Amino acid sequence: MNKRLNVYYGKREVGELWVDQAEIYHFRYTREWERKGFSIGRVLPCGCGELHGREVEYFWSNILPEGICRESIERELRTDGSDFALLCELGKEVAGALSLVKPGDEPPASRGSYSAVLKEEELSARLRNLPHRPILHRNERWSLSLAGAQNKMAVLRTKEGIRMPRDGAASNCILKIASADFPDLVFNEFICMRLAREVGLPCARVDLLRIGDVWALAVERYDRHLHAGLVQRFHQQDFCQMLGIPHSLKYEFHGGPGLQECTQAMREISALPVEDAFLLGQWYTFNLLIGNMDGHAKNISMLYKPQSGWRLSPFYDLVHTVVYEDIRGVTAMLPCGREVNLRRITPSLWQSTMQSIGLPLRPICSSAREMKNTLLSSISDFSLTERLGRSPQSDVVRRLLRSLENCVRSAGFLPTAESE
Ligand SMILES: Nc1ncnc2c1ncn2[C@@H]1O[C@H](COP(=O)(O)OP(=O)(O)OP(=O)(O)O)[C@@H](O)[C@H]1O
Ligand SMILES: [Mg+2]
């Protein structure tokens, strides 16, 4: 197996990644990048020579898919089960702007190669087959990877339609479909992401698509920009990458980071740490309000733009999870590190959590109250009737909205204006 990969940022070589005989990961920036580039990860500082060890390994392994998605890809590719083997196969088009390229191979061309626009039947068949065949048709020179455990595919979506990127060409859209465990997930995530926008949070744009008999959520990639037929990539790192920890530690109750640790790491690299801390507080509070127990360290990222440096990325993967009874009622990041049920979070515990990340109480309290009010009115106005008509999905959406409304209404952790 090839144990060496070159890392590119567009056409520019960033450095070299390799694994030694003892399976230890090493990374070294090129001289040129050390002079003119930037640190691609908090745990990969520029100017420190050769870096090696677990943090280097986890920075890279965090770009790989997880759970059964990973298993089915490995089956299809017949790799040896190691992260490095998967990085070799999937690393050309990943979250962020980097491409991992085998020595001797070219980095993906800026005007990449794509399939023809897919016909509806073809796309719906691919989506239906995602859980069993994660669209790895070797002869399509497929080489892309996204983290997460849900079924998804990365595609190029333009006015003309949807195409499959080939050989590491850039995608600009993530298509997510429901799973057998959570058949209404697409609607749930669509509603929550739209509500997040209504309350004024920066988050990825989403669209609900009916492709043949398959419902899909189209999530616009905020780390891509389509202009004049070319897709520009922007770099990002999620908070597991930022902290140099494996994806298995993404939940705080599994020993992973909490809100405080994430905020501290964010403050070290953010170009606007005060604004980003406030956004993190809003993200956390929004998750409590909508009953999202899945706001873990891989569901939040930092985005790098050459003009503005590192900032908290727009939000994504927002889901009203408490509607699924078998998910525990404990938030992925615990209020002040305490494992309390969502319903038992008191105003004083919430306030201490906000203070623990350095937020002044008055502004975050009034923002949280405003969020709650806007959520309630947006939920009651929310309608998908035009798209869904009298289909069975209408009932699904109504049930989700009812559950969401209950959740927001019964949130007892917000202090009243008087008690603040
Ligand atoms: N709109 C977006 N733009 C750019 N990158 C994104 C976007 N949405 C998600 N990502 C990246 O893709 C990864 C997987 O996406 P997402 O979290 O939606 O998947 P998931 O399978 O639902 O995750 P989970 O395992 O948390 O349920 C994220 O961790 C993030 O790195
Ligand atoms: Mg996720």
> Going residue by residue through the chain (420 aa), what tens digit of pLDDT does each one get?
459 999 999 999 999 999 999 999 999 999 999 999 999 999 999 999 999 999 999 999 999 999 988 988 888 888 888 999 999 999 999 999 999 999 999 998 888 899 999 999 999 999 998 887 776 666 666 778 889 888 899 999 999 999 999 989 999 999 999 888 888 999 999 999 999 999 999 999 999 999 999 999 999 999 999 998 899 999 999 999 999 999 999 999 999 999 999 999 999 999 999 999 999 999 999 999 999 999 999 999 999 999 999 999 999 999 999 999 766 689 999 999 998 999 999 999 999 999 999 999 999 999 999 999 999 999 999 988 778 877 778 889 999 999 999 999 999 999 987 766
CATH of the domain at 304: 1.10.1070
Is the domain of 95 the same as that of 187? Answer: no
User: In angstroms, rounded to a whole number, what is the distance separating the alpha carbons of residues 114 and 125?
Assistant: 18
> What is the helix (H) or strand (E) element at residue 365, kind and residue range?
helix 361-381
pTM: 0.96
In this structure, the answer to whether residues 365 and 415 fall within a common structural domain is yes
For tokens 């937020």, what's the residue?
Answer: 359
Q: Is the CB of 149 under 6 A from ligand 1?
A: yes
Is the Cβ atom of 298 under 6 angstroms away from ligand 1? yes
Does one domain contain both 152 and 246?
Answer: no
What distance in Å separates the CA atoms of residue 304 and residue 234, rounded to the nearest whole number? 6
Six-digit token string for 325: 């009874």
* 321 and 287 share one domain: yes
Nearest ligand by distance to the CA of 223: 1
Ligand with smallest separation from the Cα of 316: 1
> What is the pLDDT, as a whole number, of residue 17?
98
Considering 167, 200, 227, which residue would you say is the last residue of a domain? 227
- Confirm or reject: Cβ of 316 under 6 Å from ligand 1: yes
- Look at residue 234 and tell me if it is in a domain: no
User: How buried is 21 (Cβ within 10 angstroms: 0-12 exposed, 13-18 middle, 19+ buried)?
Assistant: exposed
| Together in a domain, 397 and 273 | yes
Structural domains counted in the chain: 3
Q: How are strands ordered across the β-sheet holding 12-19? A: 51-52, 25-29, 12-19, 4-9, 98-101
Question: What distance in Å separates the CA atoms of residue 135 and residue 77, rounded to the nearest whole number?
Answer: 11
Question: How high is the pLDDT of residue 137?
Answer: 63
86 and 176 housed in the same domain: no
Residue 295 is assigned to a structural domain of this protein: yes
CA 149 to centroid of ligand 1, rounded, Å: 9
Ligand 2 midpoint to CA 178 (Å)? 14
Question: Are 49 and 126 part of one and the same domain?
Answer: no
Residues 173 and 262 in one domain: no
Report how far apart, in Å, the C-alpha atoms of 154 and of each of 83, 169, 170, 209 are: 20, 10, 9, 15
22 falls within a domain: yes
Ligand at shortest distance from the CA of 189: 1
222 and 283 together in one domain = no
CA of 319 to the centre of ligand 2 (A): 10
What integer pLDDT is reported at residue 65 of this predicted model? 93
DSSP calls for 16-34: EEEE-TT--EEEEE-HHHH
236 inside domain? no
- Residue 8 falls within a domain, yes or no? yes
Domain check: are 379 and 305 in the same one?
yes
Q: Enumerate the active-site residues.
A: 294
Given a contact cutoff of 8 angstroms between Cβ atoms, the answer to whether 46 and 30 are in contact is: no
Does ligand 1 lie within 6 Å of residue 238's CB atom?
yes
Ligand 1, atom 24, residue with closest C-alpha = 148
Determine the structural domain holding residue 125 and report its residue range.
Answer: 113-227
Going from the Cα of 337 to the center of ligand 2, the distance in angstroms, rounded, reads 21
Cα 94 to chain centroid, rounded: 11
Q: Which protein residue has the closest C-alpha to ligand 1 atom 15?
A: 148
Q: Which of 176, 251, 299 to mutate to test the pocket of ligand 1 (most atoms within 8 A of CB)?
A: 299
Q: What's the farthest any 2 CA atoms get from each other in the chain?
A: 67
C-alpha distance from residue 177 to each of 190, 204, 214, 264, 316 (Å): 11, 17, 8, 34, 15
417 is written with which tokens?
């204006």
Contact 232, 169 (CB under 8 A): no
* Same domain, residue pair 261 and 378: yes
- In angstroms, rounded to a whole number, what is the distance separating the alpha carbons of residues 96 and 160? 25
